[in-house]
Amino acid sequence: MEAPRPFEPRLVRARKRRAAAGFSEAAFLHRRSAEDIADRLEAIPRPFASTLVLGGGGLFGEAVRVRPELERRIGNVLEADLTRGDVVLEPEALPFAEEAFDLIVSPLALHWTNDLPGALIQLRRALRPDGLLLASLFAGETLQELRVALIEAEAELTGGAAMRVAPFADLRDLGALMQRAGFALPAADRDLVTVRYSEPMRLLADLRAMGETAALAERPPRNLSRRILARALEIYRERYADPDGRVRATFEIITLTGWAPHESQQKPLKPGSAKTRLADALKTQERSAGEKTGR
């Protein structure tokens, strides 16, 4: 069975290109993610001779330049993106040789990939042994308020509703994909960001300016009419406004961390291989589960 392909790559490229000119001014979430990845790298005291930056619109480079010690540890940098950089590419067909990089970072780019498992496998293969991947992407709770408002408005006015906000993977699925791709010491952690707007149209304007509007392969059977949109914005204000009148928008950002396998890395002990009893370490008496203890 062919894997589902929720996104239309042509539309993803078109929307990213349209947003490129003003991207750095609107992409506050992308900047946050790039800075977070730079912060994580600062805590890893080792050099990376060759680095691939996948996506991010140049924001990771900006984050590194204000961290001189980190900049010294990061060697040759290759920037690759859909619309700009040293290499313009498709994330699902990476043109890199195996074991080409010591470090790969990807700030908020991979969530538009149809074959995310395949992309992660390609990234792992592009890393040298003991190389590091740090990648952030939007996840399941992103834009949950907008999703609900659009569904309810369309169902109310037409009797049915289509998908109009992109689907995103959840934390558990992303962690499993890292293991499936063959990364050692995989980890996935969550940053839940709430952004407040004076009114929901400002959210839509930001999404367009970021190039993050839905680029779905299966187009809805009807266009999003002004009537449906107006009702959706009413529902948004009614349900998601704070006492001061500003409305909330949720963005869930998952950051994936994984290493290309290497013999020097820590490995979990085999069951039964421990050389010290837990009771001895705690300096207490070991009892079976059926025994009663004193006070």
Give the CATH number for residue 227. Answer: 3.40.50.150
- Full residue range of the structural domain in which residue 51 is found: 9-266
pLDDT at 238: 97
- Helix 116-125 vs helix 171-180: angle between axes, to the nearest 10 degrees? 40
Residue from 197, 226, 219 nearest 26 by CA: 197
Residue 139 lies in a domain: yes
- For 33-88, the pLDDT digits (tens) are 999 999 999 999 999 999 999 999 999 999 999 999 999 999 899 999 888 778 88
For 188, phi then psi, to 5°, come to -140, 125
Residue 287 lies in a domain: no
Residue 293 lies in a domain: no
pLDDT at 251 over 90: yes
Alpha-carbon distance 147 to 165, whole Å?
6
Residue 2 lies in a domain: no
Residue 276 lies in a domain: no
Rounded alpha-carbon distances, angstroms, from residue 64 to 38, 78, 98: 6, 14, 25
Segment 150-156 shows an average pLDDT of 96
Residue 279 lies in a domain: no
Residue 290 lies in a domain: no
Residue 284 lies in a domain: no
The number of folded domains in the chain is 1
Average pLDDT of the chain, as a whole number: 89
Q: Sheet harboring 184-197: ordered strands across?
A: 87-88, 74-81, 48-54, 101-107, 127-138, 247-259, 184-197
Please report, for the chain, how many H helices and E strands are present, in that order. 11, 7
pLDDT at 137 over 90: yes
Q: Is 138 exposed, middle or buried (0-12, 13-18, 19+ CB in 10 A)?
A: buried
- For 256-285, the pLDDT digits (tens) are 999 999 988 877 555 555 565 555 655 555
